[in-house]
Amino acid sequence: MVKRKGGVVLIVLLVSFLGLSDHLSFVESEGETVIYVDPGYVSKRNGTYFTVEVKVDDVSDLWAFAVDVYINQSVLNITDAWLPVDDPGYVFNGKSTVQPHPAFYDSDSNGVIEALQIGDSILVGTTFTGSGKLAVIEFQCIGVGSSLIDITGSKTHFLDSSQSLIGPIVEVHGHVESFKNIVITVPDDYPTIQKAINHASEGDVIYVRTGTYYENIVVNKTVSLIGKNKINTIIDGRGMGYAVNVTATKVTISGFTIRNAYCGVQLWRSGGHNISNNIISDNSWQGISLECSTGNYIVGNLITKNKATAWWGGIGIHLQTFSRINHIMDNIISNNNWGIVLTASDSNILRNNRLVNNSYSFEVEHFFDNDIDASNTVNGKPIYYLSNQRDLIIDPLTFPDIGYLGIIKSENITVRNLNLTNNGQGILLAYTNNSFIQNLEITSNQIGIHLYCSDGNLIEKCTIANNEVEGILIEHSNGNIIRANTVMNNYYGIGTGSGNKGNLIYHNNFINNTFQVSYRFFEVKDGKPIYAEDKWDDGYPSGGNYWSDYTGIDEYGGPYQNLTGSDGIGDEPYVIDENNRDNYPLMYPYSALIGDLNHDGKIDILDITLVATAFGTYPNHPRWKPEADLNQDGKIDICDLVIVAQNYGETCPWLT
């Protein structure tokens, strides 16, 4: 016996009226008769009306019936009931019957009907065999909650023409969910998700059963899209557009796989959404895109395999164009071109996101006031997005594992001896001044070192190689010193732009970059571009930078390169633009190795030989080689040989 939840609906046939109740005997039939409610599951908005039919399957020689129905009176009210005598599906359709009037009972006088008595009986003619409708009951949802339509009871029975009980009887109960908002079921109510949205009202719930729905959905109403199972309830964007484009506010999307579109989920100029517990995969441009979208929760999603053939695309989560105050939490972002990118978006909160095996895991650009803590990880290593720091040393001892490093609004920070790879920026300095970046290996990022509105910093002795775009990018930053770095095999060696002033760039090796220098951004005045105003050399004789594409020769020397004799500096400047040139380009890669006399980036027997062949000489001697006078004491002797020997075997980064 199922536990009763409230009042009783009695559908009682004329058995009692005919005085037969005391004379019933039980006779088992060969099959099982089933009594049930159709539809068996109902989801309705609170306050709405609906009907259910009481039906019977596999009954033989039916002459009369009686049914008990139990409901939760706090959820449902009985508003009407009748026999569908004109319905061809009615069990006694076309037969002569006596039909009592329905009797409703509100025993506690609270306006809610707890009981109903209705029935029918054949008095003339043949009985009914087969399946059909017994009665129709109308309900109203009067509260939020759930109720069984429970047809178990001692009075639930069928009577045959011999006035014996037909049995056994299997009772299949109905179930009602009453929501504050209506629940529309796809494909039961509408065959597609878009049609369900089109017919929904604000606040409705659209429940989607398992299956693959080939659609590009526009959600322009405040609804909740709930998938039955995120693995098997699939929205497939057919390789184009947005799989789900949300333009309304306060939309919930949960329990889906969203795949195979230009963009999986687009939140466009709207906010208050909840995107949770989804799998978002195999989209060509972006998994989830927020554009001008504020106050959203992106929680607990698996965002994977979103990849593009272009260098910019295949982003797991992209916040852009003033998307603010969003909570990005507990997501797994894996195997995308990009993991998470924040573009011109601030005041966002990121927690417990796991970025795994993305080509470029993390990037923040243009707006930087975000709350991003070390609970976010790149391949198991914490993201350090450090704001308002002073006098901090960041090295393998103080920060042993770094997944991403961004330093914001800070002063006097020393970063040294790190290997930073596979992010949008190897290292980001934004609004950070008077800091020291030394001896870093920065490879396979989009941008190696990114300076944004940061002044007075020193970047030296770093190897910056194989980054997709710039090795070094300087934006709106002044008075920085960039020296003794090897910048090689990047698309752009160094990027600059209008507004940069007073940066000193010298003794760097720019080797085999597709373009040695780029202008990322221009300002235009009076129809003419405004170039950066930086200095690209350290004067004579210190010199400038080594440029692997420099085609000049070295036949002269001196500050004006007009004196006979080579000096390791090109005779003509390396021209960058009309305002920027390296006046003293180096003919050989700059080596910070003391003793690399032949400029081949390594100290070996050839360097010892060069000192040995000039041993014992002095200025104006026929064998005098000024480069072999390593201690600059005006003579080449045992002290110079010792210097070479002490550094023997060392190599420059551009050889490794």
Q: Are strands 263-268 and 242-246 parallel, antiparallel or unpaired?
A: parallel
Cβ atoms 119, 65 nearer than 8 A: yes
- Mean pLDDT, residues 411-436: 97
pLDDT confidence band for 123 (50 / 70 / 90): low
Token readout for 397 is 């001892």
Cis, bond preceding 187 (omega within 30 deg of 0): yes
Q: Given pLDDT bands bounded at 50, 70 and 90, which one contains residue 523? A: confident
Could you give the strand order of the β-sheet that contains 501-506, starting from the edge strand earlier in sequence?
Answer: 393-394, 414-416, 436-438, 458-460, 481-483, 501-506, 533-535
Q: Do residues 279 and 265 make contact, with C-beta atoms less than 8 angstroms apart?
A: no
- Across the range 416-436, mean pLDDT stands at 97
Q: What is the pLDDT of residue 117?
A: 65
* 481, 492 contact by CB (below 8 A): no
Distance CA 73, CA 96 (A): 35
Q: Is the peptide bond before 168 cis (omega within 30 degrees of 0)?
A: yes
Q: How far apart are CA 377 and CA 554, in angstroms?
A: 51
The pTM assigned to this predicted structure is: 0.70
pLDDT reading at 275 higher than 90: yes
Q: Which two tokens stand for residue 499?
A: 């507004």
Which of 207, 323, 333 is CA-nearest to residue 267?
Answer: 323
627: phi then psi, degrees, rounded to nearest 5: -70, -20
Q: Which of 19-23, 33-37, 38-42 has the lowest mean pLDDT?
A: 19-23
d(CA 282, CA 314) in angstroms, rounded, equals 9
Q: Does the CA dihedral 332-334-336-337 come out positive or negative?
A: positive
Percent of the chain with pLDDT over 70: 90
Q: What is the mean pLDDT of residues 620-630?
A: 85
Indicate the pLDDT class of residue 23, thresholds 50, 70 and 90.
very low
How far is it, in rounded angstroms, from Cα 78 to Cα 83? 15
- Residue identified by tokens 């004006």 is 560
Q: For strand 233-236 and strand 425-430, is the pairing parallel, antiparallel, or unpaired?
A: unpaired
Domains along the chain? 8-179 (2.60.40.680), 183-379 (2.160.20.10), 605-655 (1.10.1330.10)
The predicted model gives 117-129 an average pLDDT of 71
| Cβ proximity of 114 and 105 under 8 Å | yes
Q: How far apart are CA 274 and CA 235, in angstroms?
A: 17
Task: With a cut of 50, say whether residue 292 has pLDDT above it.
Answer: yes
pLDDT of amino acid 311: 63
Element (H, E) at 612: helix 605-613
The pLDDT of residue 172: 80
Q: CA-CA distance, 156 to 177, in Å (whole number)?
A: 24
pLDDT value of position 18: 34
Confidence of residue 29 (pLDDT cuts 50, 70, 90): very low
Degrees (nearest 5) of the Cα angle 162, 164, 170?
Answer: 130
Least confident interval from 94-108, 224-238, 396-410, 462-476: 94-108
Q: For the segment 329-376, what is each residue's pLDDT rounded down to a tens digit?
A: 999 999 999 999 999 999 999 999 999 999 999 999 999 999 999 999
Q: What is the mean pLDDT of the chain?
A: 88
What is the rounded CA–CA span in Å between residue 33 and residue 491? Answer: 78
Residues in the chain: 656
Mean pLDDT of 403-414: 98
- For the segment 277-302, the average pLDDT, to the nearest whole number, is 96
**Distance of alpha carbon 69 from alpha carbon 115, whole angstroms:** 9
Lowest model confidence (mean pLDDT) among 24-33, 103-112, 181-190, 432-441: 24-33
**Per-residue CA distances from 652 to 546, 589, 593, 656 (Å):** 14, 9, 7, 7
Give the H/E segment covering residue 613: helix 605-613
Q: Which residue shows structure tokens 């005391």?
A: 22
351 phi/psi in degrees, rounded to 5: -140, 135
Q: Containing H/E element for 640?
A: helix 638-646
Q: Which of 59-68, 115-124, 213-222, 543-552 has the lowest mean pLDDT?
A: 115-124
pLDDT band at 102 (very low <50, low <70, confident <90, very high): confident
Provide the pLDDT for residue 165: 86
Lowest average pLDDT, out of 26-40, 369-383, 629-643, goes to 26-40
The pLDDT-based confidence of 487 (bands split at 50, 70, 90) is very high
Residue of 559 and 100 predicted with greater confidence: 559
Measure the CA–CA gap between 447 and 423, rounded to whole angstroms: 8
- Name the residue among 54, 65, 128 with its Cα closest to residue 92: 128
Distance CA 218, CA 524 (A): 40
Residue of higher predicted confidence among 17 and 514: 514
pLDDT tens-digit profile of 187-212? 999 999 999 999 998 888 999 999 99
Position 261 scores a pLDDT of 97
Q: Helix-strand-coil percent breakdown of the chain, rounded to 5?
A: 5, 45, 50
